[in-house]
Amino acid sequence: MGTDDEENSVPLQEMAQVVDEVPRGPNKQECVVPETKESSWSWVYRFVQDWLYTNVIGFLVVSYWRGTWVLLDIWTCGQPSNASLLAGDSFCFAAVESESEVRFQSAWQTYLIGSILLIIGFVMVWRGWWKSTTVPLRKSVLRILIVYILGFATVNTWHGIWYLLDRWFLSDVGPVTNFGWSAGLGALVCYALCSGASLLAPPAIFLVDGPEKYSPPLANTIVNSYRSISLPAGKAKNDEDPFWLMGLDMFFSFIILPWGVVAFWRGFWYLMDESLWGFTDSVEDVRMSILWSYLIGLGFLFLGSEDVVMHIPTEIPTNPTSGKAMNFLAGRFRTVILAVGVVNFWRAVWLLWDEYLGKTSVLSAGLSHAIGVILLLCFGCLSCITAPPSTLGVDAVAHPDCADEPLFHDVPIPAEALYFFGIGRSPLTVAIHENFDEVASDEIQLIAPRPSFMRQSAAGLEPANRSSSISASSLSKRHLLKRQKNQFFRNR
């Protein structure tokens, strides 16, 4: 993880050498990263390092969510500090019938709070507050505030939707049937909106805070994100859409999609409870289910990881149409594999806190929340606390020339992409430009368009081609090469 000064992620002399080593096309924009061979020991070291960071960051993200969720249960439900699964009074008295009305009121309160905070966070992003000042301290404070508001809003929104679904969704059927339909219909809604990738969360996917000029893919819409993948860089004219299309896009992105995502997570989480724990009154059963959830989660995350999918062919030269269809299906199947892994990983970490680290006390919840925020900020990936509707993923076969998002990463997270307090850093490319004439000025506009009021998209500022959107300021040559060659590395 980088630990250099505010404005430069690595020394300028070192970066100048990198710039000289990277061959460029005639237009000074296209970067062709030469393939390099690593020793077997070097590969093993990088493999272990990447997966270690993946597990640590995943643990911190779940810790933040768990701490925030438990605090909401305490504040809005009066949940006791020693609540547990066996007693049935955790998750806002989930199994206590006499407290169902309290739980219902809590759901509406948190959903309303989440909606208000989401609007505030969206306006801050759309109005360009991420890059509204060059004063380092003010810039850092604004960015942290934006991400924290969106993250806290997302937890409130999920908290409300989850408990409302518990109250309303198929209440007259058996538990297993209810859970199965919830997971199935939730996934169906997401895929129907071309947003199956929205089912994923860290450690399946990661949003890095910087160093870049613009924000990670926050407050994006389905149409905006879909175009950024399926069209060549610079061809998406989102700011020319009629008002009615913008309204529908926002409605499905920020209102409907979150219900589908939460329904899937709710149903599949409960199915894992039923399968691995069985809702027995045995503490050992609960604790063994934590171990099994972690092992299952890690196994499925590996199956859908970069280390595996990099070896899957993404093109059929003799039949481009079939190759495109197979690529699409492979991507959707990979999403399901990763979704199974990430839900199990979250369940394991969440219950680990509840069973071993202070149960549901205010101290335990506050510590969980604070550790997540502080350490994720230090790792340079506080943006990972967001989820739909604050950020979303779409399903599309990537256009070969689509823009890349250097602040988005698949599993495992590359260790080189993490910079200490990345949210307050400026991109290295700017510093290079000020000192070296050979770097073209148009390369400073790395990827993200300047946000307009209604959309985080101003087509005139998008990169002219895919290569110019792949930032060397936060990626090693190893990952630059993979992003250029593999269809799975795309903007969400």
What pLDDT is stored for residue 175 in this prediction? 92
Bigger pLDDT: 491 vs 160: 160
Average pLDDT over residues 347-361: 92
Task: Write out pLDDT tens, residues 250-299.
Answer: 999 999 999 999 999 999 999 999 999 999 989 999 999 999 999 999 99
**CA–CA distance, 216 with 491 (Å, rounded to integer):** 10
**CA–CA distance, 300 with 309 (Å, rounded to integer):** 12
Both tokens of 424, joined, read 């307050």
pLDDT band at 64 (very low <50, low <70, confident <90, very high): very high
CB atoms within 10 A of CB 29: 17
Average pLDDT over residues 391-415: 83
User: In the predicted model, is pLDDT for residue 351 greater than 90?
Assistant: yes
User: In the predicted model, is pLDDT for residue 238 greater than 80?
Assistant: no
Average pLDDT over residues 242-255: 94
What pLDDT is stored for residue 439 in this prediction? 31
Contact 217, 229 (CB under 8 A): no
Average pLDDT over residues 306-327: 68
pLDDT band at 319 (very low <50, low <70, confident <90, very high): low
Both tokens of 454, joined, read 């209604």
Both tokens of 448, joined, read 């993200």
Bridge partner list, 419: 2
| Residue appearing with tokens 């149903």 | 267
What pLDDT is stored for residue 57 in this prediction? 98
What pLDDT is stored for residue 221 in this prediction? 93
What percent of the chain is modeled with pLDDT above 70? 76
Q: Where are the domains of the chain?
A: 12-485
Contact 455, 411 (CB under 8 A): no
User: In the predicted model, is pLDDT for residue 457 greater than 70?
Assistant: no
DSSP secondary structure of 415-454: GGG-BTTGGGPPPHHHHHHHH-TTS-GGGGS-SPPPP-SS
**Amino acid making up residue 368:** S
pLDDT band at 323 (very low <50, low <70, confident <90, very high): low
Average pLDDT over residues 101-126: 96
User: In the predicted model, is pLDDT for residue 149 greater than 50?
Assistant: yes
Average pLDDT over residues 26-37: 46
Average pLDDT over residues 34-49: 74
pLDDT band at 327 (very low <50, low <70, confident <90, very high): confident
What pLDDT is stored for residue 189 in this prediction? 98
What pLDDT is stored for residue 215 in this prediction? 81
What pLDDT is stored for residue 454 in this prediction? 37
Helices 257-272, 136-168: axis angle to 10 degrees equals 70
User: In the predicted model, is pLDDT for residue 4 greater than 70?
Assistant: no
| Residue appearing with tokens 């000025």 | 441
User: In the predicted model, is pLDDT for residue 54 greater than 90?
Assistant: yes
pLDDT band at 315 (very low <50, low <70, confident <90, very high): low
What pLDDT is stored for residue 365 in this prediction? 96
Contact 480, 412 (CB under 8 A): no
What pLDDT is stored for residue 400 in this prediction? 73
